[in-house]
Structure 1
Amino acid sequence: MKGPLFYAKILLFGEYGIIKDSKGLAIPFNAYRGALKSTNDLSGVSKKSNENLELFYKYISNLKTDIVSFNLSEFKTDIENGMYFDSSIPQGYGVGSSGALVASVYDKYATNKITVLENLTREKLLKLKEVFSLMESFFHGKSSGLDPLNSYLSLPILINSKTNIEPAGIPSQKEGKGAVFLLDSQQIGETEPMVNIFMNKMKNEGFRKMISEEFATTTDACIEDFLGGNVKSLFGNVKLLSKIVLKNFKPMIPNAFHKVWEKGIKTNDYYLKLCGSGGGGYILGFTEDFEKAQKSLKEYKLELVYRF
């Protein structure tokens, strides 16, 4: 048995903001992928994955919901026969490892599933997001459902609000100097503790005001610039976003990167922002000159995502 491939995702803009209903933009990232496979010889990583699928199966079996049903007997039999999720997507890195797993389980075992080939109305997209949110909550305690949605559809998705999402056309890549890249923090980040820190901060009126007046409006401006191909304006807004995140989201930025973050803002060689919930994993970088950013960050491993 070998299932179809599901890709990693990158939330270019909107981390934390989408929890509070501001805009977000997610794109598939084809460098990493995963698929359901079977083996007669479970050991090491495949054994651990098989055990996790067993726990996931139990979670799904106990879901009290009318919006989705699964072929549970087939799912259980496949797990007993050595099924595991074979994935190159790094876990705890903010690029949707659990999202790809959720998408592959839905694709294989959901009955009456919404397929990628049908006309994806807003209602269908929202229903998929709701199903995926329910499923992925097993991994994170609370999930927006966006990571699996992105992985399942393999399309850029624009989140206008919780009840308004649509596939987005992003400008095709150019062979320019500018780039979006991933910087490897070489630390694992856990989503749940980071989201809890954010939720606690949201109890503070000043923090709430900053989210709605500064963070959300700057994020929205970045998304509009990116989708509109307004590169010059985009970098001005990304710089501002980088400053806002450094000032207000310090616990989500690994300590070793506070100075690196500041350096980018001071030199304009690059600007950093959170990739996913932060706390480790990847950090997302934007630069008008990728070669310059590579020199400036020569001690770190960078991975190219998109070229301007």
Structure 2
Amino acid sequence: MLFSLFYSKILLFGEYGIIKDSKGLSIPYNFYKGALKVDENPDETAIKSNESLGSFAEYLQQLQEDQPELVQFDIETLKADISKGMYFDSTIPQGYGVGSSGALVASIYDKYASDKITILENLTREKLLTLKQVFAQMESFFHGKSSGLDPLNSYLSLPILINSKDNIEAAGIPSQSKEGKGAVFLLDSGMVGETAPLVNLFMENLKQEGFRKMLKDKFVKHTDACVEDFMKGDVKSLFSNIKQLSHVVLDNFKPMIPKQFHNLWKEGIDTGAYYLKLCGSGGGGYILGFTEDIDKARTALKNHNLEVVYTF
């Protein structure tokens, strides 16, 4: 059986904010990838993944019964393949905010959805929104509540600009500068993050008026500005807004930042050597960093692994 490869993603801007209609920008990250696979002699990881796919298949069967107009799958073939030992073979680290479940969802849709929307057709806004809706329902199996963006990014392998909940488009982002010192990087926290509890905490916080006001007046405002600056290639304004955003996150999203990184986060803001922000829901996994001078950032963060994902 031949299966397609699907890549990880990085949500540059918009984590949590897109739940409340902020802008967002998601880019594919081809360093990590995954594909469905069948092995003669599966290892423990493969067996675990296969069991998880079994539960996922049951969930998808229920989903198509509950929402027949939304999506239909070839459940029989899916279950038959799972019984042959099919699993998701992936280098994408789980709980790291780079879309491990998104790539899995994209691969299942690609292989087993009936009347699927393909990446080869003219992707109108309606088709993108339909895909996003389908993927949100599918990925909810893993996270409790999903925007559907991770699988969408993985499926299309294109940058996606989120203007609002109902307005998304495949986007061209400014090309990278080979000579530039500015960079976006991933910082490995060395621990796994759990998405569902943190999203639940965020939803609880939204019940407080003060938190909602901060979100609208500060978090969403700076997130939107960062997206606009990035798309325009206005690096000076971008770093001014990222600094503000980093500050807002440190002040208001502390539970989403692993404790041992609180000081490091503040040092970046104080020195200007780098600015940190959440990568996905936080709580561990990767932390996203922005710097105007990657050498400075490497020196300041010399005890940590940095992976550069984009250069200015």
Note whether the superposition's TM-score is higher than 0.5.
Answer: yes
Give the letter for the 1:296 counterpart. Answer: A
Superposition CA RMSD, Å: 0.6
1:226 maps onto 2:262 in alignment: no
Runs of 4+ residues deviating >6 angstroms: none
Corresponding residue of 2:155: 152
SS in 2 for 1:142: coil
Corresponding residue of 1:197: 201
Distance 1:41 1:2 in 2: 18
1:214 maps onto 2:230 in alignment: no
**Superposed displacement of residue 94, structure 1:** 0.4
Correspondence for 2:77 among 74, 78, 95: 74
Give the letter for the 2:53 counterpart. Answer: L
- Map 1:45-84 → 2, pairs under 5 A: 45-63=45-63, 64-65=66-67, 66-84=69-87
- Map 1:79-228 → 2, pairs under 5 A: 79-175=82-178, 176-228=180-232
| Contact map agreement 1:8 1:89 (CA 8 A) in 2 | yes
Corresponding residue of 1:256: 260
Instruction: Give identity over the alignment, percent.
Output: 68
**Superposed displacement of residue 13, structure 1:** 0.2
Corresponding residue of 2:30: 30
Give the letter for the 1:307 counterpart. Answer: T
Distance 2:143 2:118 in 1: 25
Give the letter for the 1:37 counterpart. Answer: K
Give the letter for the 1:116 counterpart. Answer: I
SS in 1 for 2:94: coil
Distance 1:5 1:260 in 2: 36
Distance 1:3 1:269 in 2: 43
Give the letter for the 2:216 counterpart. Answer: S
Deviation digits for residues 27-81 of structure 1, max 9, x if unmatched? 0000000001111222211111111111111110111112110001110111111
The unaligned stretches of length 5 or more in structure 2 are none
The unaligned stretches of length 5 or more in structure 1 are none
SS in 2 for 1:62: helix
How many equivalent pairs are there?
Answer: 308
**Superposed displacement of residue 220, structure 1:** 0.4
| Contact map agreement 1:188 1:280 (CA 8 A) in 2 | yes
Corresponding residue of 1:276: 280
**Superposed displacement of residue 2, structure 1:** 3.4
- With normalisation by structure 2, the TM-score equals 0.98
SS in 1 for 2:2: coil
Distance 1:197 1:147 in 2: 21
Deviation digits for residues 62-106 of structure 1, max 9, x if unmatched? 111121100011101111111111100000000000000000000
- With normalisation by structure 1, the TM-score equals 0.99
